[in-house]
Amino acid sequence: MKNKPKILISACLLGENCKYNGGNNADAISADTLDKLDQIYELVAVCPEYLGGLTTPREPAEICSNGRVMTKFSGRDVTREFLSGAQICADIARKNDCKIAVLKERSPSCGSGEIYDGSFTGRIVSGDGLTTSALKKLGVRVVGESALLELNLEKEAQNGQVDKH
């Protein structure tokens, strides 16, 4: 009997109210896609910012040009919390042998390929969130929720390592 391979997923995409404003991002991923993901994989939900010790709701934060993560209103430097969350997520991915992570696009933790530029004006720049960077260093393939539609999920699962019992 085969166990389903595990993938890491942003908890807010599953409807957890861990987003900075106390809401979630469940509307960013269709119920059908989520259903299919759930059939093929065991979903390991993480919220790096929560795991790093930040409260919900919390001030929005972005990665600035100097690499520090700063909050929008009080200008607090929350880099330490973001790095801590990233490290915890990397440890969870390693322990669960996750080869893929489906993470919320453009977040300063979860974004992959593009993130907000630190000006809090909605401008986007190339780059990864801190958790995405930590996962990529481990060799985890990170995809945003919109890229899921382009993935052949069954094929990806076959290519991943599946525990046999």
Q: At what angle do helices 79-95 and 130-137 cross, to 10 degrees?
A: 40
Max CA distance (Å), the chain:
53
Closest CA to 8 of 132, 149, 162, 133: 132
Contact residues: ligand SF4, CB under 6 A: 10-12, 18-19, 47-49, 104, 107, 109-110
CB nearer to ligand SF4: pick between 11 and 63: 11
Q: Which is nearer to ligand SF4, 20 or 160 (CB)?
A: 20
Which amino acid belongs to residue 67? G
What is the C-alpha to C-alpha distance for residues 139 and 162, in angstroms, rounded to an integer?
17
Q: How far apart are CA 149 and CA 160, in angstroms?
A: 18
Q: Cβ of residue 40: shortest distance to ligand SF4, in angstroms?
A: 21
Minimal distance, residue 19 CB to ligand SF4, in Å: 4
Q: Which is nearer to ligand SF4, 25 or 157 (CB)?
A: 25
CB of 41 to ligand SF4, least distance (A): 17
Please, what is the minimum distance in Å from the beta carbon of residue 139 to ligand SF4? 20
Ramachandran category for residue 63: left, alpha or beta (phi over 0 → left; psi -120 to 50 → alpha): beta
CB 45 within 8 A of CB 82: no
Least distance from ligand SF4 to the Cβ atom of residue 14, Å: 9
- Of 99 and 104, nearer to ligand SF4 (C-beta) is 104
Is 49 or 62 the residue whose CB approaches ligand SF4 more closely? 49
